């Protein structure tokens, strides 16, 4: 089993749609969770950290379910500019304060 698993997509959605991405992680002791966005041939950019209580940033909502070891990202009112790959990222081994473990990414294509 991969340490961080995501549906690779692609998700093709019309502008204005709501889309949700899911991610599961293998280590129940993991403590830090993130969503990164990566445009084609660019570096990953931090979209948002994911907190236990869930958090929202504009059109983006992230949630964490520790019991199911599951993270989600919801994008409302999709824009063409949201087209990118969304990477689920976990600090799998807490206490090491080091490596992040990335999922393979979910590709989103927003169309007119």
The distance of closest approach from Cβ of residue 14 to other proteins in the complex, given in angstroms and rounded to an integer, is: 25
Determine the Cα–Cα distance for residues 53 and 64; give it in Å rounded to an integer. Answer: 7
Q: What 3-state class would DSSP assign to 61?
A: strand
The distance of closest approach from Cβ of residue 103 to other proteins in the complex, given in angstroms and rounded to an integer, is: 6
The distance of closest approach from Cβ of residue 71 to other proteins in the complex, given in angstroms and rounded to an integer, is: 14
Nearer to other proteins among residue 44 and residue 78 (C-beta) = 44
Determine the Cα–Cα distance for residues 51 and 26; give it in Å rounded to an integer. Answer: 18
Is residue 34 involved in binding other proteins (CB under 8 A)?
Answer: yes
Q: Segment 36-65, which members bind other proteins (CB under 8 A)? A: 41-46, 49
Residue with token string 């919801």: 74
């Amino acid at each position: 089993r991969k340490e961080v698993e995501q549906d690779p997509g692609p998700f093709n959605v019309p502008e204005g749609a709501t889309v949700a991405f899911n991610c599961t992680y293998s280590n129940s002791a993991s403590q830090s969770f993130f969503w990164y966005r990566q445009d084609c041939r660019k570096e990953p950019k931090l979209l948002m950290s994911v907190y236990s209580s869930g958090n929202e940033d504009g059109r983006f909502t992230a949630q964490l379910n520790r019991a199911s070891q599951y993270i989600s990202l919801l994008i409302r009112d999709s824009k063409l500019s949201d087209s990118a790959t969304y990477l689920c990222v976990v600090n799998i081994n807490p206490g090491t304060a080091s490596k992040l473990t990335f999922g393979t990414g979910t590709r989103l294509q927003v169309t007119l």
